[in-house]
Amino acid sequence: MKIIFYAIIISLNFIGCDKYNDNLQSLSNKNKIYEKSIVIKKDDIEASESKVEIISGTKYIIEEKATYDNTGILHLSTAGSEGFIAHSRNNEKGTLPIENPKQYNEIKIDRSHNYIIDNQDTIKRFKILMKDKIILTPENKNNRSYLYRFN
């Protein structure tokens, strides 16, 4: 009985070690964050597929998604009742302009101090899911998390 118990504990440790990481030094210098989403963890809500992100079996609803390039924000999608409302820096056809582009400056990874600089915010608590190329923060006081995608 003890052997089975220890085998289960050891296998759970190996499974846990493989999924998560919280050290930005594990990312290469080439890795850049190209997308930021504000998500809320909700298993009991139905939403369109474009507004749902499933991470490690947990369902997150996307409220806002920003896509970045080398000069800052490129696209912004905000949640509306019928789907996303598209905004673009380049005023592309069918999109609205981004009202305050300085609010969405480039997001930087500081490997030496192990934090993410997101405009005026310094993010020190997060999980890195290397397989999915995702960085996920814990829920804040409004039950929202930040989900960063890197290349």
User: Average pLDDT over the chain, rounded to whole?
Assistant: 81
Q: Where are the domains of the chain?
A: 21-150
Query: Which residue shows structure tokens 């507004």?
Result: 51
How distant, in Å, are the alpha carbons of 66, 69, 83, 130, 131 from that of 52? Answer: 15, 23, 11, 20, 19
User: What would the two tokens of residue 26 be?
Assistant: 């594990």
| pLDDT confidence of residue 14 | 47
Contacts of 81 (CB under 8 A, 6+ apart): none
How many angstroms separate the CA atoms of 93 and 73, rounded?
17
| Burial category of 21 from C-beta neighbours within 10 Å (exposed 0-12, middle 13-18, buried 19 and up) | middle
Q: Are 42 and 51 in contact (CB under 8 A)?
A: no
Amino acid 111 reads: R
**Which whole number is the average pLDDT over 34-62?**
82
pTM value?
A: 0.78
Q: Are 107 and 148 in contact (CB under 8 A)?
A: yes
Q: Where are the beta strands (DSSP E) in 81-132?
A: 83-88, 96-97, 107-110, 115-118, 121-123, 127-129
Query: Alpha carbon 113 to chain centroid distance?
Result: 20
Confidence of residue 18 (pLDDT cuts 50, 70, 90): very low
Tens-digit pLDDT profile for residues 99-145: 877 777 778 898 889 999 988 889 999 999 988 999 999 999 999 99
